[in-house]
Structure 1
Amino acid sequence: MSQTRIRDYRVSRGLTVRELATRAGVSSGLISQVERGIADPSLETMRKIARVLEIPLFSLFQDEEPSKVAVIRRGDRATIGSPHSTITYSRASRGGSRLEVLEALLEPGSVSATEPRGHPSEECVVALSGCLVVEVMGERHELAEGDSCHFDSNLPHRFLNESGEPTRFLVSVTPPSY
């Protein structure tokens, strides 16, 4: 992640460090440390910052000048995890486009978020390995390997792995959002 990217978005929106911190519900010191590359924010903190800046989360990781064709090598993917849950996302698509494809790994007994949340997009989830529960508006949809679930992301949702094995899945989001 380019630490200056958060600063650039913040400044372009006319926000001070304190204003961004207050709106995101974090300390000014944390925002300052993140912008200077001293601290690595959690996934939830990054979501809050992206929401305040009104940008898709992975925009904070995108390339400056996208080419017409992008090959993203597994080892070069932008990756983000969360200390509050044991989920890791890696972006399989190019940043800055109208479609975002993420590969996720959700550890056994984990959830993607403590509370379901919505965002202005459309989503399709494909279970690659293991069992995945997609919870949308409190309704559970159990996916086995190869199954998929397509839904309006405005509806509060989250992902659960209730099994004893890690679950890998793809998430396609259009347009990318926070």
Structure 2
Amino acid sequence: MLGERLRDLRHDRGFSLKQLAELTGVSIALLSQVERNQIDPSLNTLRKLAKALDVPLFSLFAGSADPGVAVIQRDRRPSLTATPGAVAYTRISPGFGRLEVLEGVLEPGSASSPTLWEHNSEECAVVLKGSLVVEFASESYTLQAGDSIYFDSNRAHRYVNPTDAPSVYIVAVTPPSF
């Protein structure tokens, strides 16, 4: 489904594979393999593609939208995993609408992104288990289970787990841009 969705978005925006490769810094060969569902791209690659295509990251996996009520069963949540042993996200919200809610599991000693990054949203996170550091360019905040943080996601940021136990947290983003 991801490959077809990417190809449809690329065509809708009038991009050739070469143009999308230039916008993202991702090779044409890799883009072609992703569109043909031959490989699963990394989280960083997906972020680059979502930004270039001007869509929230999880919308790359979106199904049809039902404007009524949506029930998302735990075992059917769409998920994304960064490099093994780093961060895994599952989508709690249905993937349409003005709010994206994700559950993140950040492994010991890892970060949500190799570098600080920003996106045009507002973000609120609450730690469910463990400890979590939210880093910005000139400051950081250490959160424990039950603590929350709210910030403008236009500020470059990332989540870090400096401990030896997994961190589990919920993050809400509006409008969806993850």
For the superposition of Structure 1 and Structure 2, which TM-score range results when normalised by the shorter chain? over 0.9
Tell me the residue number matched to 2:51. 51
Tell me the residue number matched to 1:99. 99
Q: Where has structure 1 moved over 2 Å in runs of 4 or more?
A: none
Return the alpha-carbon distance in structure 2 between the equivalents of residues 58 and 66 of structure 1: 16
Q: Aligned letter for 2:166?
A: P
2:138 counterpart of 1:138: yes
Q: Aligned letter for 2:82?
A: S
Any conservation in 2 of the 1:110–1:160 contact (CA below 8 Å)?
yes
* 3-state SS in 1 of match to 2:164: coil
Tell me the residue number matched to 2:73. 73
**Cα distance, 1:37–1:57 mapped onto 2, change above 3 Å:** same
Return the alpha-carbon distance in structure 1 between the equivalents of residues 48 and 85 of structure 2: 16
Q: Aligned letter for 1:53?
A: L
Q: Aligned letter for 2:83?
A: P
Unaligned runs of 5+ in 1: none
2:117 counterpart of 1:117: yes
Return the alpha-carbon distance in structure 2 between the equivalents of residues 176 and 138 of structure 1: 25
Unaligned runs of 5+ in 2: none
What TM-score does the superposition give when structure 1 sets the normalisation length? 0.96
Shift of residue 177 of structure 1? 1.1
Shift of residue 33 of structure 1? 0.9
Return the alpha-carbon distance in structure 2 between the equivalents of residues 56 and 103 of structure 1: 16
Shift of residue 38 of structure 1? 0.7
Tell me the residue number matched to 2:163. 163
What TM-score does the superposition give when structure 2 sets the normalisation length? 0.96
**Cα distance, 1:27–1:82 mapped onto 2, change above 3 Å:** same
Tell me the residue number matched to 1:23. 23
* 3-state SS in 1 of match to 2:98: coil
Any conservation in 1 of the 2:65–2:96 contact (CA below 8 Å)?
no
Q: How many residues align?
A: 178
Return the alpha-carbon distance in structure 2 between the equivalents of residues 145 and 97 of structure 1: 28
Any conservation in 2 of the 1:80–1:88 contact (CA below 8 Å)?
yes
